[in-house]
Amino acid sequence: MEQILQNMTLPQLIEQGISNSYTYHEYRKLVNDLLVENKSTGHEQSEALTKYSMLNDRRMKRLDKTLKIDESIKEAFASKDTNVTWVVLTEGWCGDAAHSLPVLNKLAELNNNIDLKIVSRDDHHELMNNFLTNGGRAIPKLIVYNTKTKAVLNTWGPRPSVATQMVNEYKEKHGALDPKFKEDLQIWYNKDKGVNIAVDLLQVL
């Protein structure tokens, strides 16, 4: 099976991912159902990952209810002449994804020609390996894909541009991300309320 996957073209890998994907609401239900069994999505299971997944489920639930998209962004997305599938590689334990996915969902809902598909990173390593960040399988990773031309038009992730800059500057100064920075990053996400993500995505659409 591994040899077959290695011989697949990138469009074939993407379309295989789409065929095994979830809608946003299916993904939210999957995360919730697994938590009832004290599990997270993905191949690795641990108490820590389940805890992260539980926190993320609460974050997404809150954002689904409270997230508001700026009117100018709404108009720009609604009027955009496009026909794409947003393929998002992710897992339920990922903190960055918990802040990004509700925004992606709200934006995709603004335009009938944007089809959002959530794909398990751990079930699609060959696909993920085509979209590494600094050599790592960082998530969430958005692939903007045209199903008619079978072309990758753009990518985004794993973090919005401002958060990426924060991470890079902190790593340059301190060498690695520590719990204090991760807490500060969560505070930034909460204050930003998805604005930076929405602005970024308007550029890659």
Q: How many whole angstroms separate alpha carbon 186 and alpha carbon 202?
A: 23
pTM of this prediction?
Answer: 0.94
Residue 87 host element (H or E): strand 84-90
Q: How many whole angstroms separate alpha carbon 151 and alpha carbon 169?
A: 33
pLDDT tens by residue, 117-156: 999 999 999 999 999 999 999 999 999 999 999 999 999 9
Residue ranges with strand state E in 91-174: 114-120, 141-146, 151-156
Say which residue the tokens 């998002």 belong to: 88
pLDDT at 117: 98
Say which residue the tokens 């995505």 belong to: 201
pLDDT at 174: 92
> How many alpha carbons lie under 13 Å from residue 187 in its C-beta half-sphere?
7
Averaged pLDDT, 63-80: 94
3-state secondary structure 11-23: HHHHHHHHHCCEC
Averaged pLDDT, 25-33: 98
pLDDT tens by residue, 150-173: 999 999 999 999 999 999 999 999
Say which residue the tokens 């639930």 belong to: 61
pLDDT at 205: 80
pLDDT greater than 80 at residue 187: yes
pLDDT at 144: 98
Q: How many whole angstroms separate alpha carbon 78 and alpha carbon 86?
A: 15
pLDDT at 43: 97
How far, in Å, are 36, 40, 141 from residue 57 at the CA level? 12, 10, 19
pLDDT at 3: 54
Q: Residue 138 corresponds to which tokens in the numbers above?
A: 């960082």
Averaged pLDDT score across all residues of the chain: 95
